[in-house]
Every structure is written in C-alpha cells, then in structure tokens.
Amino acid sequence: MNENQINDIDQQLYKIDRLTLLDCKQISFRKEKSGFLTLTYKGETFHRIDPTRLIPFFSKTTYISLSYENGEREFCEVGVIKDMKELDEEQYGILDSFLEYKYYMPEITKVSGIRDNMQGSIFVRADTTSGEKTICVRDWYQNFRMLTDKYLYVNDADGNKYFCSDINKLDRKSRSVLEMFT
Amino acid sequence: MDLRLKLPEPAPEGVVYSLPFGFAPDGEKCDGVFTVAGKDGCYHIYIYINGTAEEKYPLKDFREFRCRQQIGTSMAQGELKNGDVLCLCAFTQDLFLRYAQLMKLLEHYLRTGELLTDTGDDEPVCHRCGLPLENGQECVFCKSKGSTMLRLLKRIGPYKKYFITAVVCTVFSELIWVLMPYLDRLMIDRYVTPKLKDYSGLAAIALMAVTLLLMAGASEYLNMKNSFRAALNLGRDLREEVFEKSQQMSMGMVSKRTAGELINRVSGDAAKLEEFITANGKDAIVKILSLLIIGVLLFVMDWRLALMTILPVPVVFLIVGKLFDMMAIRYTKVWKTSTAHSEVLHDILNGIRVVKSFGSESREIAHYENCSMKWARACVRAEIMWYLTIPLSEFILTLGNFFVLYFGGKMVLGHTMTLGQLIQFTTYVAMLYEPINWMIHIPRTLADASVSAGKVFEILDLRPDVVDSTDAVDLDIKGDIEFDGVYFGYKVYNPVLKDISCHIKQGEMVGIVGHSGVGKSTMINLILRLYDCTQGEIRIDGVPIKNISQKSLRSQIGVVLQETFLFDGSVLDNIAYAKPGAPFEDVIKAAKAAYAHEFITRLPDGYNTHVGNKGFQLSGGERQRIAIARALLHDPKIMILDEATASLDTRTEKQIQNALAELTEGRTTIAIAHRLSTLSGADRLIVLDKGRLAETGTHSELMSREGVYYRLVMAQRQTTKMRAVKTEQA
C-alpha cells in the first residue's frame, strides 16, 4: 500500500471526527423528487440531503446537520449549519419548510382534560395547532414529560409528537389540568 | 389491516389499495390520496392531491418500495429501475403502520407478480381510547375495574381470618368505650350529685370500669396483632408480586422503566399500602359502625341536642369532598418527584465510578439536592393545602358541641336533664367526632394510598409481550439452530434484521460479523427469546422457538457478554449462580477450566472472597474468567459469546481464548467479535450487512470471495497498520 492510499484511508477515518461548520453564503438547496434536498456547496453537489436538527428541543434553526446516505447506505455528513439566519431568504425558506415538514409536531394550545386509566396510559383532550384531539399516551411517565421547566413533549401511541413550548402561557384551567401530570 | 381507507373521487377502475395522506411529496400540507389500481397485471400508482390526480406511475417501473420514518412525519418512497428514488407521499405517524404494510405488499408484488387484494379488516379497536382490542375482548385499558382501593381491599382475602378477628376485637373495644360514659353518668347521678356516701356502690362501679378497661386493653392487643399480620402479609404479597412481575417482563418492557422507578414500586408503594391497611383498612369498618351506634344513642337520649351536634357535619363533608381531588393531584406530584428522586439516586450511585473519575461529585450533589428539594417542595405543597383547610373544618365540626353545652346546661339548670346525662351526652358527642374526624382525614390518606395502589396495579396488570404458547414444551436441546426468513425490529416495521435464513448445526462454532448496529446482538437476543421475531421463525432442533418454554430454553443456553455482571457476593456465589447447590468440586473444576482458579487461589479469602458491588474489586479479565466459569458450570447446550474478549488486553485475551476453547468444546457456539482475529477458530462465519445475511462460509472462502467480509478484514488490517505507524511516529 502506498503513502497516498494510506493518507486517503487516514482522511476517511478521521474526517468524521471533525466538525465542519458550513459557510451559509455558499449553500444552495433544491427540492428533489426523492423527498429530500439537493445541496450545492462550494461547487460540489450532494443529493438526497436529509437535514437534521441536532438540538430539536432547544433550537429549531441552529445547528442543522446536512447529511446523506451513500450507495452503501452509510451516513455521510457534509457539515453543520450553525445558524440558519445566515442563509439568504430563499435558502432559509427551502430548508425551514423541509424541517417543519420533517419535524411536523402540532403545538398544544389548550388542555381541557386528562384521564388516567391507572394502567400507564393517559388520554389528553387538547386543542392543537392541527385541531382538537384526544391524544392517547401510553407509558406516560416516558412519553408525556417536561423537557425543561416549561417545555412539554408528548409522544402518542401512534408515534405522533406534540409539544407545548411554554406551559406557563396556557390558560389557567389547562395549567391546573396539567399540574398533576407534569 | 384495511388498506382502502379513503377512495379518490372519481376513483380509477380496479382500486386495490387506497390510503389518505396529509403531505405532498414536496412536503406541502395537502389533502391527498395514494391509490393503487388496475387490472390484468397492469397496475398503476395514482397520487391525488387536493382532488386532482397529479401523478401516475406504472408499478412495474419500480424495483423497491420502502417506508421511511422521520420525526413527525413519514414518507412512502419508491426506487425506480433506473435507480432514481421518488417520494410518493408523506403522512403523519398514525398512518405509518398502514403505509408500511402497503409498501410490503407492493414489494411482494415486485417479487412475485401477485398483488394481494385481501388485506383483511382492521383489528378491532376500543371506541374510547382507540387502542387495539386483543381477541376482540373488552379493552384492558378502559374496562370498568371498580375502584382501585376496592381491588386492594379484596387482596385481604387470604388473610381474612386475621382481618375479621381484628375487626371483631375493635368492635368489642369500641362497645366497651361506649359503656364507659354510662358508668360516669351512674356515678355522678347516684353518688356524686346527691353526695351519697355509699362506698360499696362506688367501688362496684370503679371495679366494673377497671374490668372494662382491662378487657378493652386485651381486645386492643388482639386487634393490633391481627391487623398487623394481615397488613404485613398483604404488603409482602404485593412486594413479591411486583418483583415477580418485573422478572417476567420482556426486555422491551423492562427497558422502558428505570431501575429506580421499579425499586420505588417494589418497596415504596407496597410499603405505603401496607401502612394504609394497618392504619385505615379495618378502621373504615369500625369507624362507620361506631358512628352509627353513637349516633343512634345520641338520638335516643335527646334528638334535639343530637340534631345540633350533627348540624355542621354536611358543611364539613362538602369541604372535604372538594379537597379530595386537590389532594389527589398533589399526591400524584409527590409520587412523581419521589420516583424521580429514586431514579437519580440510583443512577448516581450506580455510576459512582464515572462520577468520581470525572471529578463531578459537586455537580451530582447539586443535581441530587435539586431533586430532593423538588420532592420536599411537592410534599410541603400537599401538606400545606391540607393543614390550611383541616383546622377550619374541625372548628366548624365542633361548633355543634358549643350548642350542646349551652342548651344542655340550660336543661340541667331547668331540671329537665341530669348532670350525669349531660356529661354522658357530651362524652358521646366527643366520641362521635372521632369517626367524623377520621373521615375528614381520609381524603389525605386515601389520595396518597390510591396513587400508590394505582402504580402497583399498573405493574401487576402488565401483560408480558413474550409469552409461552399454551403447548410450549420443555425441550432437551441438542443445539441445532435454524433461522427461517426472520425479520425483526425493536420498532415494528423498522426492521433491524431482514429475511435472515441460516442453519447452525449442532456442535458447530459460528462467528457473526458485521459493522456496528447491523444486528449481530439482535440475532442473539432472538435466540435467547428476549424478543419475538416480527416475521419468520427460529427453530431449535426443528422445534419453533415459540413452542419451547422460555425456562427450558434459557436454562440450556450459556452467555458470556463483554460487560460481565457479578452480583454482590463471594466468588463462589457468583460461579455457583449458574447451578445453585452445585458441589464445590464442580465449581473448582469450572474455575480451573476457565483459567480462573489460579487467581482465585491467590485472593486472600479464596473462593469466599467478596467481589464487591458488580465485582469492582476484581480486574476486567478476572471478572470475565469468573463469568466463563459460571457459564461452564451451567453446562449449556448452546453457548453465546458476545464480544466476550473485546475489552481485554492481548495477553489476557489469549488466556480467555484458551478458557473459551474449553467452554465451546462440543457445544453449538455462536460468537460475536469486532476483532475478527478472535473468530479464527470458528468453523463458519455469518456476515451481516445492512440487516441482511450477506455471506456465509469459512474465513478462507470468504476472503477469496472478496465481498463484505474481505472488505471488513482489509479495513481492520489497515486501521491496525495505521495505528502501529502512528504509535511508532509518536
């Protein structure tokens, strides 16, 4: 094995250790038919880019990882966008709409009642940004929890996710209903 | 599963499947329908968006279909024969299972050319909670179970003898206490008020009072003895049952709960219920009885005064009724914070080595203090609420007493009532307030206990998801293992293993290799039946694994893992764990074969050496050799080595390899190792890639094939070389 080959492998092996923060001015997205995005960055084109929020509960627009699966279905990361604000308006719009769709999560705006069946499941009657729902939560200690003092995260029996970014901003009745379970 | 949920309008001819979706392929929200229709082997996919057929794809143009689960949405994708991938539609997670099933059926069509039209109906679901009904029965989540507390009281059944004795004794002593005021009345009216110096009469009353007091004492003793027996036995039953259930739970169920939470339920909640039964179980019967007896007595003596006495009672009960819900909320909060506290405590103490090695003691102290403070605050909130309301309720309750004293006093002065009668009456009033007061306090104890009862029954009512079939047999395993089209995913429809078919012959040593996360340990979990496979079948000696009793199966499989768990006990205890009661000589033989005897002999207390919590007093290699000795003593028919030597240095690994050679002799052995050199002794290697069985064969066969295994070996060799070069350079 020659020196160049060793260097190539060395690069492949240690590339994953580096955090590549992307220069937002050189990013260009395009929606593609696969449901993912095509990224052009510094003249190079990457297909089937699947953007991921690295800290989805703390920030929706910072630290966005841009990655794809290669032919071997291995994870390949192009880099990380530190703050989407640095993107121009059009690119921001494309990325934001993709993330909003990927992380589609109705927000809870009102809680009218919660019934506990004393079997680990609760049934939450709530108004959400996608309408009024009865959310069935199994194993509620795990799936109905406060991630911070104010952020409520709900994962229902079907796998749908809901959230309330600040339960203190809900009306008084909702807060009192939630009190027992948060 | 119904795959014709929503038809487009107008619908194309020959609709086979038709499902709604909420997001167009570009991610925009829409009202869409995914339809597969056609006839005579010519089928098309139609994508309708907001009522218009936007796309039409011939089914035969595709080579693969898949369902890709994202975070809040999922998408159905199809890969065309030219390699292009299309997003067909996207949907929320409630439709995921249907689309996953649909994609599987389309895949089936691509493989066989047959489009299955009969997809069956939906599993019946509960109309209240929407969860599936098992075998069409009543929903286990919603069926009326009666009060949780009633269930708790019903568990007294086996100890009813003690319980009834306790109740009878309490009723008896209550009756004695009811008699005492009557003796007071006799004494006052016959001897004190007339100042009659008949000492023999006085002595007779005093003697009677002493006798009654002695009888009350004896009865109280019997009552306490029996009620404690009933309660402590009930507590023990609950603790044991919760623990037993935690042992019966499948790995999937156990991993959902933290050890701290389970510990809290086994000890904390069961103890609370035990206390509740001791303090309140029988009291409920007795207090209600004494309320009735004393109430009747008061009305018989003077109904007007009796009415004055009970006048404030409805007001008090109104307050208490309101209080119950508020207390239940506060005690649930107390329960949650106490469980969180246990979890944190368990976590920190369990990971004490990590805490100390990172020097993060002060951070963990602050973390613990925060949890402890939250718990204390929740308790304070619950108690403050209680103590703000209760003194007021008690004051309102005793208002009746003032009326009785005022009007009763007037009656005594007006000679319509004797002093003795008034004293007897007021004593009864005081006695009446006792059960009422008890009832006032009940919401607090009941709320607290019902929260704990709910949590305990929640565990007891769990249905294990890996169960023995009704005709499960105890099989004398020879060691022939067969995977037949096995699919499995920790999340259904997100398979980790796909279509695995292989045959491991009796006595053969097989190595499973592949990248991390490819499903190697999952294969082993399925052989151990820690989980059931989603599709396909695993057979041992030709018998489907589901038909072999779990106890029989696991008792004949030995496992040595990378992380060895030793129980807090001696070396002897830990080796003999595999076969309790094994002769000591067998233990030594196993230790010798595992190359462990030598270091054990050098330990100060030999086989009686205490290994400490998780065996931390021993080195990694020593712990591993004890684990191998344990597996040898177990004498399993099938041996599983999951990265058994991964964490050891080369010298120790060599010794362990020798020990393993003893262990695997003549047994079917399945070994997993990242370090491929570890598997040099394997008869055959199974190579997994992307969840599928990529290749199988001996080391040299696979190397000559230059496939997945070859690439793995080459990559590993190069990494080793590079590490060596880097070390030299350094």
Q: Are B503 and B521 in contact (CB under 8 A)?
A: no
Q: What is the pLDDT of residue B647?
A: 60
Do B305 and B434 share a domain, yes or no?
A: yes
Task: Indicate the range of A18-27, B111-120, B535-544, B705-714 predicted with least confidence.
Answer: B111-120
Q: How many angstroms separate the CA of residue B647 from the nearest CA in chain A?
A: 22
Cβ <8 Å between B93 and A31 = no
Q: Is B517 found in the same domain as B428? A: no
Q: What is the mean pLDDT of residues A79-101?
A: 93
- Last-in-domain residue among A102, A133, A161: A102
Which has more pLDDT, A12 or A149? A149
Interface of B with A in 486-525 (CB under 8 A): none
B75 touches chain A (CB under 8 A): yes
Question: What is the pLDDT confidence band of residue B423, given thresholds at 50, 70 and 90?
Answer: confident
Does A82 share its domain with A124?
no
Q: How many CA atoms lie within 13 A of B19 on its CB side?
A: 25
Whether B443 shows a pLDDT value over 70: the answer reads no
Chain B residues inside the 8 Å CB shell of A105: 71-72
> Final residue of a domain: which of A68, A102, A136?
A102
Identify the residue among B45, B69, B77, B93 best suited for mutation to test binding to A, counting A beta carbons within 10 A and taking the highest: B93
- Tell me the nearest-neighbour CA distance from B375 into chain A, angstroms: 13
The DSSP element (H or E) to which B538 belongs, if any, is: strand B535-540
Mean per-residue pLDDT of chain B: 80
- Residue A69, pLDDT > 80, answer yes
For residue range B624-663, list pLDDT tens digits in order: 888 888 888 888 888 888 877 766 666 666 767 777 776 6
Do B508 and B392 share a structural domain?
no
Total number of domains in chain B: 3
Q: What is the pLDDT of residues B666-692, one digit of tens each?
A: 788 888 877 777 777 788 888 988 788
- All residues of chain A having their beta carbon less than 8 Å from the beta carbon of residue B336 are 141
Q: Is residue B497 domain-shared with residue B442, that is, in the same domain?
A: no
Given a cut of 70, whether residue B230 has pLDDT beyond it is: yes
Distances (CA, A) of B642 to A152, B616, B715: 39, 21, 21
Instruction: Note which residues in 665-704 of chain B have CB less than 8 A from chain A.
Output: 690
pLDDT at A152: 92
pLDDT for B289 beyond 80 = no
Domain match, B382 and B448 both: yes
Residue B665 pLDDT more than 70?
A: yes
Sign of the four-CA dihedral B524, B525, B526, B529:
positive
Same domain, B449 and B477: no
In a domain? residue B330: yes
Q: What residues in A contact B722, CB-CB < 8 Å?
A: 6, 9-10, 13
Query: Is B23 an interface residue toward A (CB < 8 Å)?
Result: yes
Residue B508 has pLDDT above 60, yes or no: yes
Residue B602 in contact with partner chain A when CB distance is under 8 A? no
Q: Is the residue at B54 inside a domain?
A: yes
Q: Residue B470 carries which DSSP code?
A: T
Q: Is residue B164 included in any domain, yes or no?
A: yes
Share of chain B above pLDDT 70, in %: 86
**In 3-state terms, chain B is what percent helix, strand and coil (to 5)?**
60, 15, 25
**Beta-strand (E) ranges in B319-403?**
none
Does residue B450 fall inside a structural domain?
Answer: yes
Are A13 and B722 an interchain contact pair (Cβ–Cβ within 8 Å)? yes
**CB–CB contact B458 A105 (8 Å):** no
DSSP collapsed to 3 states, B73-140: EEEEEEEECCCCEEEEEEEEHHHHHHHHHHHHHHHHHHHHCCCCCCCCCCCCECCCCCCECHHHCCCC
Same domain, yes or no: A7 and A89: yes
Do residue A96 and residue A7 come from a single domain?
Answer: yes
Same domain, A172 and A113: yes
pLDDT of amino acid B641 = 83
Q: Which of B23, B86, B333 sits opposite A180 (nearest CB)?
A: B333
Nearest-CA distance B730 → chain A (Å):
16
Q: Give chain B positions within 8 Å (CB) of A161.
A: 71-72, 93
Closest chain B C-alpha to A10 CA, distance in angstroms: 8
**Residue A135 and residue A91 share a domain:** no
Chain B residues with CB inside 8 Å of A97's CB?
27-28
Asked whether the predicted pLDDT for residue B578 surpasses 70, the reply is: yes
**pLDDT tens for residues B292-324?**
888 888 888 888 888 888 788 788 778 777 776
Q: What pLDDT, on the 0 to 100 scale, is given for residue B135?
A: 47
How many CB atoms neighbour CB B110 within 10 A?
A: 14
Both A7 and A93 in a single domain?
yes
Contact yes or no for B378/B333 (Cβ under 8 A): yes
Q: Over 50: is that where the pLDDT of B337 sits?
A: yes
Same domain, yes or no, for A25 and A77?
yes
Between chain A and chain B, how many beta carbons pairs sit less than 8 Å apart?
Answer: 116
Q: Which residues of A touch B27 (CB under 8 A)?
A: 31, 35, 97-98, 100-102
Q: Are residues B61 and B170 in the same domain?
A: no
Query: Of A83, A102, A121, which marks where a domain is finished?
Result: A102
Q: Residues of A near B (CB-CB distance < 8 A)? A: 1, 6, 9-10, 13, 31, 33-36, 48, 56, 73, 97-98, 100-105, 116-121, 123, 134, 136, 138-139, 141-142, 157-161, 179-181
Asked if residue A93 and residue A8 are part of one domain, the reply reads yes
| Mean residue pLDDT across chain A | 84
Q: Which of B460, B495, B518 is at the close of a domain?
A: B460
Flag if B141 and A105 touch (Cβ within 8 Å). no
Q: What is the CATH number of the domain that holds B33?
A: 2.30.29.180
Average pLDDT over residues B198-204: 79
Q: B249 lies in a domain? A: yes
Of the two residues B388 and B608, the one the predictor is more confident about is B608
Task: Show which of B425, B460, B495 is a domain's final residue.
Answer: B460
Between these two residues, B439 and B254, which has the higher pLDDT value?
B439
Q: What is the CATH number of the domain that holds B347?
A: 1.20.1560.10
Interchain pair B141, A158: CB under 8 A? no
Do A95 and A115 lie in one domain? The reply is no
Cα(B234)–Cα(B279) distance, integer angstroms: 13
Only one residue has tokens 């997670």, namely: B93
My answer on whether B87 and B199 are in the same domain is: no
DSSP tag of A170: S
Tokens of B455: 């949590």
Judgement on whether residues A22 and A83 belong to the same structural domain of the protein: yes
ipTM over cut 0.90: no
Residues B201 and B349 in one domain: yes
Q: Do A33 and B86 touch (CB under 8 A)?
A: yes
Q: Answer yes or no: is B561 within a domain.
A: no
**Tally of domains in chain A:** 2
Question: Domain of B531?
Answer: 467-555+674-730
Is it the case that residue B109 has pLDDT exceeding 80? yes
Question: Is residue B541 within 8 Å of B486, Cβ to Cβ?
Answer: no
Rounded CA-CA distance A91/A96 in Å is 8
Residue B132 lies in a domain: no
Q: Could you tell me the residue range of the domain that residue A10 belongs to?
A: 3-102
Confidence bin at B33 (pLDDT 50/70/90): very high
A136/B130 touch (CB, cutoff 8 Å), yes or no: yes
Looking at the complex, report in whole angstroms how far the Cα of residue A131 sits from the nearest Cα belonging to chain B.
14
Is B207 a member of any domain? yes
Among B456, B415, B490, smallest CA distance to B691 is for B490
Q: Quick one: B435 and B351 in the same domain?
A: yes
What are the chain A neighbours of B71 within 8 Å (beta carbons)? Answer: 56, 102-105, 161
Q: Do B32 and B102 fall into the same domain?
A: yes
Both B187 and B288 in a single domain? Answer: yes
Q: What percent of chain B has pLDDT over 90?
A: 5
Answer yes or no: do A92 and A119 share one domain.
no
| Among candidate residues B54, B88, B112, the one where a domain is terminated | B112
Same domain, A44 and A117: no
